[in-house]
């Protein structure tokens, strides 16, 4: 436990006592609920903050849900919030107090599920909004989790690996002590600023506090394969974005509205954000015939109407830290948010919340907007886009690929066996026997390459991709049907589906709220 002692020296503990509070929404400081405009936001100063955006979307759908008002009021509120502070020793011997948060929005199903982000923008209202979205997101794709979210208010680039490890482990210790973590309680995952490395530290710390928990690997998802992760988790959210857009483009009403052919092939795509979600979304679109013509990041954006090579651009950005110098023919946009305003068929905001607001919504030229990030469009901007005939595929549906595959990883950890291990060889043997009969009847022998393709048994990655694709197809179709029945937009329809599913759980468990 040396890392715990190092992160909380006796001298620091004496001068800065640890603060940890579990709070209800009503007890949150008023300043956390004030209207604000982020420096990287496209919102007017009087537009709602992220949490209020989610609540406005929820209220609009609640009116169409037909659910008991008491249940609706209960579902709208966050169940509990945890705020912790602790000191960390820096290289110069000074101490810095770190703030961490965890919100559990709804425990109608356990465990609750949601990522942990490291960002200087993290605060109570942000994690509360993200936790709310996670509840609805899980319900939309029929993943049996409640919603949660967490974050630490830091810029991870400003800290050494050793400091990040101590911060992560100390934060995890707080979650364990307050019963805000466990395979059957609350299961974190990666988010902005975190990845498999941080999830490994979290799992190891949890195990030290729960040495007898045989299911400890299920306390967190997004882990490396060697530590119980699952194949396909890294690209899951971006792949889910691709699957979702592909499905919506196949709907005749969307084709009529947008004038698109219904195929990914030949469409032009712009992606804002080149992290995990944006990169893989762009990669899958490109692999299936789309032309990625623009990519935005924090410092600048790059645009080329002739198309960009996603993999080459990614390698250049990883090595240089910028899009500058990638191509002489491509245009560099110094204001990265301007990439949203370039003309394209499909626009994927996959960066941060509140990127499309009243300040720039009239300049958006895309025919379809697929929300790869959480909350990238404000309510007023959403209404404006809908009036103009722009198809908006909402975040709680489109970026649910991550939590879907996290669910698969959690199942793998609890079952203690990788997917495909029990049946792969059996499937191949059965197919081989069937193929032999078919070849004998047809009088034609397949080549070795053809034979391997036919008899190949499903491995873990095949099953994960298949499960994710089926989940997205079903969720998209449900959203489409509700939108048509209720004569509403896809975001409201997705919220309606989520609310009704969660209300069914409440009522089935006896938690019925009377008028």
Query: Where residue 347 sits, what CATH number does that domain have?
Result: 3.40.50.720
Q: State how many domains the chain has.
A: 2
Both tokens of 98, joined, read 């770190």
Query: Where residue 213 sits, what CATH number does that domain have?
Result: 3.40.50.10860
Q: What share of the chain is helix, strand, coil (3-state, %, to 5)?
A: 50, 15, 35
pTM across the whole model: 0.85
Q: Among residues 349, 374, 398, which one ends one of the domains? A: 398
Q: Among residues 398, 421, 455, which one ends one of the domains? A: 398
Q: Centre a 10 Å sphere on the Cβ of residue 423 and count the other Cβ atoms it contains.
A: 13
Query: pLDDT of the chain along its 515 residues, tens only?
Result: 333 433 333 333 333 333 343 443 333 333 333 333 444 566 666 788 889 999 999 999 999 999 999 889 989 999 999 999 999 988 888 899 999 999 999 998 999 999 999 999 999 999 999 999 999 999 999 999 999 999 999 999 999 999 999 999 999 999 999 999 999 999 999 998 999 999 999 999 999 999 999 999 999 999 999 999 999 888 999 999 999 999 999 999 999 999 999 899 999 999 999 988 999 999 999 999 999 999 999 889 999 999 999 999 999 999 998 999 898 889 999 999 999 999 999 999 999 889 999 999 999 999 999 999 999 999 999 999 999 999 999 999 999 999 999 999 999 999 998 877 777 777 777 777 777 787 778 778 878 787 777 777 778 888 899 999 999 999 999 999 999 999 999 999 999 999 999 999 887 776 655 44
Q: Among residues 380, 398, 416, which one ends one of the domains? A: 398
Measure the CA–CA gap between 136 and 496, rounded to whole angstroms. 9
The catalytic position among 149, 223, 283, 367 is 149
Core vs surface per residue 252-280: b (16+ CB within 10 A) or e: eebbeebebeeebeebbbbbbbbbbbbbb
E runs forming strands in 279-431: 291-296, 301-303, 331-333, 346-349, 368-370, 391-393
Q: Is residue 433 flagged as an active site residue?
A: no
Q: Which of 336, 347, 344, 341 is nearest to 359 (CA)?
A: 341
191 and 277 part of one domain: no
Q: Are 81 and 28 in contact (CB under 8 A)?
A: yes
170 and 299 part of one domain: no
Encode 8-55 in three state secondary structure: CCHHHHHHCCCEEEEECHHHCCHHHHCCCCCCCCCCCCCCCCHHHHHH
95 and 199 part of one domain: yes
Distance of CA 129 to the CA centre of its chain: 13
H or E element in which residue 270 lies: strand 268-272
263 and 393 part of one domain: yes
Q: Which of 79, 183, 106 is nearest to 407 (CA)?
A: 183
Both tokens of 298, joined, read 């924090």
- Which residue stretches of 288-323 are H helix? 310-320
């Amino acid at each position: 436990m040396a890392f715990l002692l190092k992160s909380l020296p006796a001298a620091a503990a004496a001068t800065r006592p640890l603060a940890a509070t579990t709070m209800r929404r009503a007890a949150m400081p008023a300043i956390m609920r004030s209207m604000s405009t982020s420096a990287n936001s496209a919102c007017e100063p009087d537009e709602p903050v992220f949490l209020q955006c989610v609540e406005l979307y929820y209220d609009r759908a609640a009116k169409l849900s037909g659910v008991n008002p008491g249940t609706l009021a209960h579902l709208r509120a966050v169940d509990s919030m945890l705020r912790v502070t602790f000191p960390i020793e820096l290289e110069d011997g000074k101490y810095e107090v770190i703030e961490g948060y965890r919100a559990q929005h709804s425990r109608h199903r356990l465990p609750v599920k949601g990522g942990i982000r490291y960002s200087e923008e993290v605060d109570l209202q942000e994690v509360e909004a993200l936790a709310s979205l996670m509840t609805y997101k899980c319900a939309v794709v029929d993943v049996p989790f409640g919603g949660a979210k967490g974050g630490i208010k830091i810029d991870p680039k400003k800290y050494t690996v050793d400091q990040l490890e101590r911060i992560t482990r100390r934060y995890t210790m707080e979650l364990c002590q307050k019963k805000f973590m466990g395979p059957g309680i609350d299961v974190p995952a990666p988010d902005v600023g975190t990845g498999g490395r941080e999830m490994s530290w979290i799992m190891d710390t949890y195990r030290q506090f729960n040495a007898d928990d045989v299911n400890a690997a299920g306390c967190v998802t997004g882990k490396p394969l060697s530590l119980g992760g699952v194949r396909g988790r890294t690209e899951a959210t971006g792949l889910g974005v691709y699957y979702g857009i592909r499905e919506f483009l196949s709907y005749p009403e969307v084709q009529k509205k947008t004038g698109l052919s219904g195929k990914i092939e030949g469409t032009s795509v712009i992606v804002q954000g080149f992290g995990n979600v944006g990169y893989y979304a762009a990669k899958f679109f490109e692999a299936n015939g789309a032309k990625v013509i623009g990519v935005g990041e924090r410092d600048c954006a790059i645009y080329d109407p002739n198309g960009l090579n996603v993999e080459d651009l990614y390698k250049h950005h990883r090595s240089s830290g910028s899009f500058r110098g990638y191509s002489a023919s491509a245009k560099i946009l110094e204001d990265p948010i301007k990439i949203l305003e370039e003309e394209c068929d499909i626009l994927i905001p996959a960066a941060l919340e509140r990127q499309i607001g009243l300040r720039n919504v009239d300049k958006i030229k895309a025919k379809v907007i697929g929300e790869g990030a959480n909350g990238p469009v404000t309510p007023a901007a959403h209404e404006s886009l809908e009036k103009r005939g722009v198809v908006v595929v909402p975040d709680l549906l489109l970026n649910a690929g991550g939590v879907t595959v996290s669910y698969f990883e959690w199942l793998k950890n609890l079952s203690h066996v990788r997917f495909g291990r029990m049946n792969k060889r059996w499937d191949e043997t059965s197919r081989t026997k069937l193929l032999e009969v078919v070849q004998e009847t047809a009088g034609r022998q397949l080549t070795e390459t053809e034979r391997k393709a036919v008899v190949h048994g499903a491995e873990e990655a095949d099953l994960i991709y298949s499960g994710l694709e089926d989940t997205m197809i079903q969720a998209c179709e449900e959203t489409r049907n509700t939108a048509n029945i209720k004569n509403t937009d896809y975001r409201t329809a997705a919220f309606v589906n989520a609310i009704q599913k969660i209300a069914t759980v409440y009522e089935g468990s006896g938690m019925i709220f009377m008028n």
